[in-house]
Each structure stands twice: as structure tokens, then as C-alpha cells.
Amino acid sequence: MDAQQPRWLTDEEMQIWLTLARVLIRLPAALDDQLQRDAGISHFEYQVLAGLSGAPGCTLRMSVLAVFANGSLSRLSHVIGRLEKAGWVRRAPDPGDGRYTLAILTDAGREKVVATAPGHVEAVRALVFDPLTRTQQRQLGDIGRRIAHTVDPAGSDLDKLTS
């Protein structure tokens, strides 16, 4: 039997992978901490609000918003419920197809995003961009796009929302 041997990581690759894994775990936690401390919302809630604020008419189908925020419809529905109670989002049937539900950012939700964004952007700048040179920032963008394309070769609705 000629079973293919695993392509084990070299020592250098293992160190690179462990560093990336640490970033993947700790960066979201650091961003979440900042948003909880300064705005009283989670990073996921901010992603939902920011996704809606950037969408045409501040409105998205829940299914599209779930992809944008990288969460299940169930998780998104729970979060939207909390955001509705705060008065930042409302739900409505999609007039074009009643099988879908729209999430709509309210004026109060837009104000929350506007008030929250400066602190969040400063945290992103301090944690991601400030430690890097301009060349390293561009390299990080190139590397991120390559990995994202490998992970999701067909692209996602996130690509459509951010281009």
C-alpha cells in the first residue's frame, strides 16, 4: 500500500504557523475587549452594525449580513434581537421576496456606528498597522488576499460588499 505521507511543516513553517495562529486568536479578542470597554458592544455586534452602515440604504438581507459578519443565521438573529432592543436595528420582510428578512440600520444605529468607529479604527491602527512599515502593510494585504482566496476560492458576499 502506497499511502501518501503527510507534508509535515518544517521548523520554520511551524514557527510561522504558531505565530499566525496566535494572531488569529488574540487579535479578535483584543478588538472585542476595546469595543466592549469603549462602546458596550461586541466585535460581532460592531461588524453587524458596520456592515449595515456600508450597505445601500443601510439594509441587507439577514443571509447576506450573516456572511458579512461571519456568523450563522441563528447567531445573527439573536444579535439582531439585542440590537433591536437597543433601537439600533429593525427587521422587516423583504418587499421583493417575502421569504427573506431584511435588517435595517436605524438612525440611532447609525449614530452608534459613528460614535464607535473612531475608537475601533484607532485600535485596529495600533494593533495591526502601527507595528508595520508601509511595505509590510502592503505585504500583509497581499498575503491576506492570497490566503482568503485559498480558503474561499469562489469569493463571498463580503467581497461584493467591500468592493
In a domain, 13, yes or no: no
pLDDT value of position 163: 41
In a domain, 109, yes or no: yes
Which residues form the domain of 76?
A: 40-150
Q: What angle do CA 49, 90, 42 make, to 5 degrees?
A: 30
In a domain, 160, yes or no: no
pLDDT tens digits for the chain (163 residues)?
557 899 999 999 999 999 999 999 999 999 999 999 999 999 999 999 999 999 999 999 999 999 988 889 999 999 999 999 999 999 999 999 989 999 999 999 999 999 999 999 999 999 999 999 999 999 999 999 999 999 988 775 455 444 4
| Secondary structure class of 8 (helix, strand, coil) | coil
| Secondary structure class of 93 (helix, strand, coil) | strand
The total domain count for the chain is 1
* H helix and E strand count, the chain: 7, 3
pLDDT value of position 70: 87
In a domain, 124, yes or no: yes
In a domain, 12, yes or no: no
In a domain, 97, yes or no: yes
Cα–Cα distance measured from residue 146 to residue 20, given in angstroms and rounded to the nearest whole number: 15
Closest of 156, 45, 163, 160 to residue 105, by C-alpha:
45
What is the model's pTM?
A: 0.85
Cα–Cα distance measured from residue 52 to residue 109, given in angstroms and rounded to the nearest whole number: 9
In a domain, 21, yes or no: no
* CATH code where residue 127 lies: 1.10.10.10
In a domain, 56, yes or no: yes
